[in-house]
Structure 1
Amino acid sequence: MIAAALVTAAVPASAQDAALPPTTRFSAIRVDVRPLLATGLNSYAEGVRAELQAALAKTFSDRVGGPGPVLVVRVTGLSINPYAGSETRGGGGGRGSGGNATNTDYLEGEALVVDRAGTVLLRHPQLSATNASSGGAWYDPASEGRRVAYIAGHYAAWLKRGLGLE
């Protein structure tokens, strides 16, 4: 909590409220998973970095190239909850799905738009939540990897929208 407060304090208040011009292009996109590495997730954190880097490259493909600022996405939290194939349904026998938090995966982070001098021009915190069933059959060993790929794509798409670039 103290580290988060220090990061926030290091970013000018104007950077937290700023909006990007709709024509913004980035010179590069980087994913920072050091907060996950600090918790001992090591190879798992590197997998998250690879999936998010790929998702951001695809989502922002029309926004990369040239001398613009760098988009840095710092992953501060990931929760891939145990999933055993059950979903909560809405009341009354309807088809809607309920809000069972134990069946939800979360990816939390912040996007920093940084100029060449290292000044943070904009800070955009974001939390993505997706259904734990996004990886398909829970008993398939590849399910967890698909869940990470899915939430990375979800995060990237909403980030583009949140930055006003869509």
Structure 2
Amino acid sequence: MRVRRLGPLVRGLAAGLAALALGGAALAGDFPNLNGERYADVRVDVRPLIAQGNGPQAEALRADLTAALRRSFADRLGGRGPSLVVLIRGLSLPPYAGGQTMGRGIGGGTQTDYLDGEALLVGRRGEVLGRHPQLTATPSSYGGAWYDPASERRRVTVIADIYAEWLRRQLPVD
């Protein structure tokens, strides 16, 4: 029997998922209903990524995710209610070089990109009124041809779009 060791990212994701399963994390039901109010604004906080040394990529993600959230929540923005702030804690874009076979002899890529964050409902005085953690995973191939120099940048855009769309589905609707 061969034992495989988990890399730090996989261990971290496994620990995070285990913590969610054990409770203590906010569920979408813990995110308060706005009772007809609209969000005052939507913001993306990527300071944890910048602190990890991912400055240019974090800034690209901030721009892409902000735009995606504004599109996804367009009908819920512009009010006097609390702000929706998305705090991003992790972005993983592993090197991708086309389809991998994983030793099975069949094609198809197996690399996955991850975006880990938490939506915060922030009141006018800065108090956190609700939390909703979210981990989004997408195939690395969604960025297009691996040999295209723009592929990695497109991967950031794609995962931001998917994150925003799923967040829209997960948060309560009035």
TM score, norm. by length of structure 2: 0.76
Query: Which of these residues, 20, 24, 27, is aligned with residue 40 of structure 2?
Result: 27
Cα distance change of structure 1 residues 24 and 128 upon mapping to structure 2, 3 Å threshold = farther
Tell me if the contact between 1:85 and 1:137 (Cα under 8 Å) persists in the aligned partners.
yes
Match of 1:142 in 2: 150
Q: Tell me the number of residue pairs that the alignment of Structure 1 and Structure 2 aligns.
A: 149
The reply to whether residue 77 of structure 1 matches residue 85 of structure 2 is: no
> How far apart, CA to CA, are the structure 2 residues paired with 1:25 and 1:141?
40
**Structure 1 stretches of 5 or more lacking a match?**
5-12
The reply to whether residue 105 of structure 1 matches residue 113 of structure 2 is: yes
Tell me if the contact between 1:134 and 1:150 (Cα under 8 Å) persists in the aligned partners.
yes
Deviation digits for residues 126-149 of structure 1, max 9, x if unmatched?
A: 000001000110000111111111
> How far apart, CA to CA, are the structure 1 residues paired with 2:28 and 2:99?
42
Tell me if the contact between 1:24 and 1:165 (Cα under 8 Å) persists in the aligned partners.
no
**Structure 2 stretches of 5 or more lacking a match?**
1-11, 17-25
The reply to whether residue 47 of structure 1 matches residue 60 of structure 2 is: yes
Once the 2 structures are TM-superposed, how far is the Cα of residue 118 of structure 1 from its aligned partner? Answer: 1.3
Cα distance change of structure 1 residues 88 and 71 upon mapping to structure 2, 3 Å threshold = farther
Give the RMSD, CA atoms, in angstroms: 2.9
TM score, norm. by length of structure 1: 0.79
Identity, % of aligned positions: 55
The reply to whether residue 159 of structure 1 matches residue 172 of structure 2 is: no
